Structure 1
Amino acid sequence: MPYKPRRSALYMPASNAKAIAKARTLDCDVVILDLEDAVAPDAKAVAREQAVAAVREGGFGSRELVIRVNGLDTEWGADDLAATAAVAPDAILAPKVSTADDVRRYAGHLGGRAIPLWAMVETALSLFRLDAIAATAPETGLAGFVIGTNDLAKETGAHLDTLRTPFVSALGLAVAAARAYGLIVLDGVYNDLDDDEGFAVQARQAVTFGFDGKTLIHPRQIDPCNRAFTPDAAALDWARTIIAAFALPENASKGAIRVDGRMVERLHLAQAERTVAMA
């Protein structure tokens, strides 16, 4: 399957028609039209209508269009799922997923439609169920994790610093669970819009953990996020060197070879191919 970049995933309140229109012009890889946290209760119905209309109208180019619905335990959740499933966005983002059965409940409301599900990892309980949640992928269409660090902090009483010290273990386990079952995994948001250096530090941390990208709350975060998740020239050159070395006839059957004085295995070839695809 061709590599699809998901470096930057921008939340946009679906209740704001101007924001939806602007999203069609922004350089993010993913647009998440939000029906949940960013929308007041009295605007939920309008937000749903506008999100559905946005999918029908299109115009988002190569950007993936995702709709975050309200939870099934709310008065809006079932209607959100019915309406969004009918227009089939690129994915539906399910909030407050705590157990494998939660994923199955969301999938059951899709009417058999093959629409990818993404799950928010944002409850304390979910941190103890990551493997079981991810393992539902073949039966439910689960395709991704999205970390909700703000909600995790609210539930646990943790105080978030730039490096998310209270959740370092949880972030690593979420990435591991996602990779074990072939899911994408997106990092949580950075709240301080005026702290450019802090955002850059946190984005580099997300790259180090192995996240595919990061969720964002403002368009000004898109460019630094894309830069952080795009391989630099040195990384790209090294990846191409590895690929070229393994392509030599004498290396066709080798599992490990010497490249510029370094031992390189076929697992590094897979990583190199992904780096080139990303670039």
Structure 2
Amino acid sequence: MQDRPTRSALYIPGSKDRALDKARGLPVDVILFDLEDAVTPDAKIAARDTLFAALAGGGYGARQRIVRINALDTSWGTADAAAVAAMDCDAILLPKVNSPADVDALAALLPDLPIWAMMETPQGVLNAAAIAAHPCIAGFVMGTNDLAKDIGSRGRPALMMALQMCLLAAKSAGIVALDGVYNAFQDDDGLRAECAQGRDMGFDGKTLIHPAQIAITNATFGPSDDDIALARRQISAFEAAKVAGEGVAVVDGKIVENLHIVTAKATLAKAAAIAALEN
């Protein structure tokens, strides 16, 4: 269980003052300040100063602030990393991670800042376990659009194996795993369905391209009132069973063992962390 909610992670262009200011009031758990895809080549250098000033100005509350730089093999990547070193942020997001060597290269430039990896290449997926195990890696972000492009696939079903490989690697290493974006930002039903699928797979949250996607994503990846009530009843019933010398309890006609209590306690801890972030 991560100690900070990661239900929703919204990409915000680092070059746009208005968007950076608006992000201060959005009910999102993670802000992905973008210096890569959301910034045109002619604006990339100026975007570093724009983003530095926005972060220095504060106002983002308890949200996680993660800066996505350009890949280190581009003409902007190394200078991006140097600029991020002076920024008031929580982590740095590295695109196109193919192997632990890519993480090593960034860690050499920023040894004290947690690194998140964009998992968006076939090679990166095949090396997911080794990347997740790197001591500097704190999270995976699925780059489903780039991955689909590189594979030449169409539709989410074709990406399921890659998603599951990265998810298993992240869970094995105890790091955060965020699902990829849903491109049709006006399709609420489609977003809700994909969020539910990602949640049920085990992802900790979803990356977003538009503020209109936040509410549905937060609701889907956060525990519902029914989830919280069930968790409390399971814990209470199990504690009563232990007092009576029993190893299991029964709640709603279903067996409740210690493993279910671990999940129930994680649900309550997540609900408490969300409440603390939102208050």
Regarding TM over 0.5, the answer is: yes
Task: Check the 8 A contact 1:143/1:184 in 2, yes or no.
Answer: yes
Distance change (3 Å), C-alpha of 1:92 and 1:254: farther
1:232-247 map, 5 Å: 232-247=224-239
SS for the counterpart of 2:131 is helix
Q: Answer yes or no: is 1:146 the counterpart of 2:138.
A: no
User: Which amino acid is 2:257 matched to?
Assistant: E
The aligned residue for residue 123 of structure 1 is 121
In the alignment, the residues of structure 2 paired with residue 91 and residue 135 of structure 1 have an alpha-carbon distance, to the nearest angstrom, of 17
Q: Answer yes or no: is 1:250 the counterpart of 2:242.
A: yes
- TM-score w.r.t. length of structure 2: 0.92
In the alignment, the residues of structure 2 paired with residue 255 and residue 156 of structure 1 have an alpha-carbon distance, to the nearest angstrom, of 49
Shift of 1:244: 2.1
SS for the counterpart of 2:85 is helix
182-191 or 168-177, which deviates more: 168-177
In the alignment, the residues of structure 1 paired with residue 173 and residue 246 of structure 2 have an alpha-carbon distance, to the nearest angstrom, of 27
Among 151, 161, 167, the residue aligned to 1:156: 151
Distance change (3 Å), C-alpha of 1:249 and 1:198: closer
- TM-score w.r.t. length of structure 1: 0.92
1:97-246 map, 5 Å: 97-110=97-110, 112-113=111-112, 115-136=113-134, 138=135, 141-160=136-155, 164-246=156-238
SS for the counterpart of 2:92 is strand
The aligned residue for residue 63 of structure 1 is 63
| RMSD over aligned Cα atoms | 1.8
Shift of 1:87: 2.5
Task: Check the 8 A contact 1:118/1:142 in 2, yes or no.
Answer: yes
SS for the counterpart of 2:162 is helix
Distance change (3 Å), C-alpha of 1:231 and 1:252: farther
1:36-115 map, 5 Å: 36-110=36-110, 112-113=111-112, 115=113
Q: Which runs of 5+ in 1 are unaligned?
A: none
Report the number of matched residues: 271
Task: Check the 8 A contact 1:122/1:152 in 2, yes or no.
Answer: yes
The aligned residue for residue 266 of structure 1 is 258
User: Which amino acid is 1:158 matched to?
Assistant: S
